[in-house]
Structure 1
């Protein structure tokens, strides 16, 4: 079976997150967002039929958003992904809404970006489909910047993707948009849902996202100032912040803190060794230890490092101690302060424990000095 072309990033054992594109673009729409999301997720971004690397023959005239959703599920099945988080822009967002209504058992959470539960009726899309079938995409590509971005902003690679898309597949996607209207089904959506609107988006203005947010139980709405229709390309940091808060919660913040304290190299090695067997434990560490305890502002990171060093000495966890000596230096402790902490442990944890701790710390500090 021919599948949608896709790009996968992040640890294979991490929670899966599928990213859907807007009409006329490719998975490059997510270039400034996907790499950051892949720190905590198995990110899979896919191309529409006839766009990017996906075959045009995957879609035909009279197609529906449901047909595109079926292609996404076939891709997920081929990758062994049963349940996944999903974010999509415009047509990609419509695919997410369809899945939330018709296949809710496959979604763990949903983010709909610069999209709508309807796209202003069928006529404009029928006219665009006819235009593209008659004249191709050159003319539409010339006006892409005005439809996608605020004045003076562009992403040449995405405009080129628009120009290179297959006209018949593009027109079939227009057919899908023409027939799409899920407004009466929105109250049925039960998965956690985030709506992201570009405040300057002329194609799907904030009112369209607000309509969804008002109808979907418990849905949240974020409006991004200065963003037009392709918000992930124009305002990636704002989109990333919203998606992390929605998809990751404490685990997302925990992963940031974990990297800040332990360093990217250590966390990358841990992620690379992660397996399906250890994935839940790693998520627990990120969510609870780093996302809740280490983010509590009651104690400073310096103080937390001193407490952690003491606890590790008390229990004889010297491999962990070596890691947290490095973390203590990153958190601002001097070698003298680390030594004072270990001397304190000699009184309350015992001289033999402190002796081993000093040996471990001396080795780590010497390595740090040698690397600097």
Structure 2
């Protein structure tokens, strides 16, 4: 992977792959992810498009910011814009999954010169914990979780590292969200292993920002082609949220993929790829 230091001194790791004559593409992960969700889609895109994939600050092979608070959605959007300028890839098609949808939207708003089009997969316009599993329980309990993690940092980190990358966690994921017939334990393990290695305090700060940040007011002013892709059975970002998002952005298209959850790009990569290719050809 390439590495570069951005303006505030944070070291970012990223890859530029692919080629061909298609529009440049930037892949934007969800929180605590370092690319596992693009396992099948990325090679397909690389055949026809230059592809940029960065590890968010504090994720994967990227470094921690000097300022521990500098891990918000606007920081991630600024990092993306800086890398697109460095690689001379803008304007690019931003394909975001989960929290990557918020990063894509923030980039389109703050750095419009960097964005050619948006593909928003299983993500929200903001306040993500208000609708998580069709309830606002996540938003209400997050402050308490953050306090406990702050007071018992080392102990909580040990528990997370020991329990996340296990068969038990996969079983719980299947009970709560993941489709066992479409996503195996081996499919999910790279995500769980990466999550277990992440600094817990950075994860909680970024999640807190994602849970409080809202783009609803300025979505009608976005002026780029947009495709919103929703999973019919997505509990993390319910399909209703995707419908609202598509309805708020002028001219946005909505693609509802039946029978898939929040990990739709792993569960039905063929459907996601077809939807994206049809959108880019239009």
Shorter-normalised TM range:
0.7 to 0.9
- 3-state DSSP class of the match of 1:150? coil
Contact 2:20/2:48 (8 A) holds in 1: no
Return closer, same or farther for 1:216/1:243 CA change in 2, 3 Å cut-off. Answer: same
Counterpart Cα distance in 1 of 2:146 and 2:281: 38
- Matching residue of 1:120: 129
Deviation at 1:37, TM superposition (A): 0.7
Count of residues paired in the alignment:
249
**Segments of 4+ in structure 1 off by > 6 A?**
none
CA deviation after TM superposition for structure 1 residue 54, in Å: 1.5
Q: Distance in 2 between matches of 1:227 and 1:131?
A: 34
Counterpart in 2 of 1:217? 250
| Cα offsets for 1:232-252 (capped at 9, x unmatched) | 122211111111111234xxx
Shift of 1:177: 0.9
Relative to its length, the structure with more strand (as a share) is 2
Match of 1:37 among 45, 49, 74: 45
Matched, 1:89 2:118: no
Q: How does 1:164-313 map to 2 (within 5 A)?
A: 164-249=197-282
Aligned mates of 1:189, 1:87 — CA distance in 2: 16
Which of the pair has more CA radius of gyration? 1
1:73 Cα deviation from its structure 2 partner: 1.1
Is 1:149 paired with 2:158?
A: no
Q: Which runs of 5+ in 2 are unaligned?
A: 131-138
Displacement of 1:205 in angstroms is: 0.6
Deviations 1:99-130 (A, max 9, x none): 22222222110011111012134545444544
CA distance in 2, matches of 1:38, 1:59: 35
Instruction: Tell me the TM-score normalised to structure 1 length.
Output: 0.61
Q: Distance in 2 between matches of 1:237 and 1:58?
A: 40
Given that residues 220 and 248 in structure 2 are in contact (C-alpha distance below 8 angstroms), is that contact kept between their aligned partners in structure 1?
A: yes
Q: Which residue of 1 aligns with 2:85?
A: 77
Out of 61, 70, 76, the residue aligned to residue 53 of structure 1 is 61
Larger RCO (CA under 8 A, 6+ residues apart):
2
Conserved in 2, the CA contact under 8 Å of 1:130 and 1:171? no
Distance in 1 between residues matched to 2:241 and 2:194, nearest whole Å: 26
2:19–2:49: 8 Å Cα contact kept in structure 1? yes
Q: Is the 8 A contact 1:150 1:200 kept in 2?
A: no
Q: CA RMSD in A?
A: 2.4
Aligned with residue 27 of structure 1, among 35, 43, 54: 35
Contact 2:117 2:224 in 1 (8 A): yes
Aligned to 1:333: none
- Aligned to 1:209, what secondary structure does the other structure show? helix
Question: CA separation in 2, counterparts of 1:159 and 1:219?
Answer: 33
Q: Please give the secondary structure, in 1, of the residue aligned with 2:113.
A: helix
Deviation at 1:24? 1.9
Cα deviations by residue, 1:231-276 (Å, 9 ceiling, x for unpaired): 1122211111111111234xxxxxxxxxxxxxxxxxxxxxxxxxxx
Aligned runs of 1:331-346 on 2, under 5 Å?
Answer: none
Classify 1:186/1:29 alpha carbon distance in 2 versus 1 (closer, same or farther; 3 Å).
same
Q: Does 1:100 align with 2:124?
A: no
